[in-house]
Amino acid sequence: MTAFVTLAAVYSTPTVRRSRSDQLSSADATNRALDVFLAGVERKAFRIAQLGLRNEADALDAVQDAMMKLVQS
């Protein structure tokens, strides 16, 4: 006998509607948290990239590309 699992509970989960101001404040908080995170890792990321690539310009490009991909995801 085969057991079937349904995702009905997942799809029927009620969502909470937030007001526009709540959405903006949530987005602002997320942006601030991301800024703090990126500021905390940018020097270390650059140093690691510089050691691996052995070129300052390439390391800057690599770190910038990585951080942009992180922000866009």
Q: Is the pLDDT of residue 72 over 50?
A: yes
Residues 6+ apart with CB under 8 A from 49: 58, 59, 60, 62, 63
Phi-psi region of 54 (alpha: psi -120 to 50; beta: other; left: phi over 0): left
How confident is the model over 5-21, as pLDDT tens digits? 444 444 455 555 666 66
Domain residues of the chain, as ranges? 41-73
pLDDT tens, residue by residue, 50-63: 999 999 999 999 99
Q: What does the pLDDT read at residue 41? A: 92
Summarize the confidence of residues 31-50 as an average pLDDT.
92
Rounded Cα gap, residues 31 and 67, in angstroms = 13
Backbone angles phi, psi at 16, to 5 degrees: -100, 125
Mean pLDDT of all residues belonging to the chain: 79
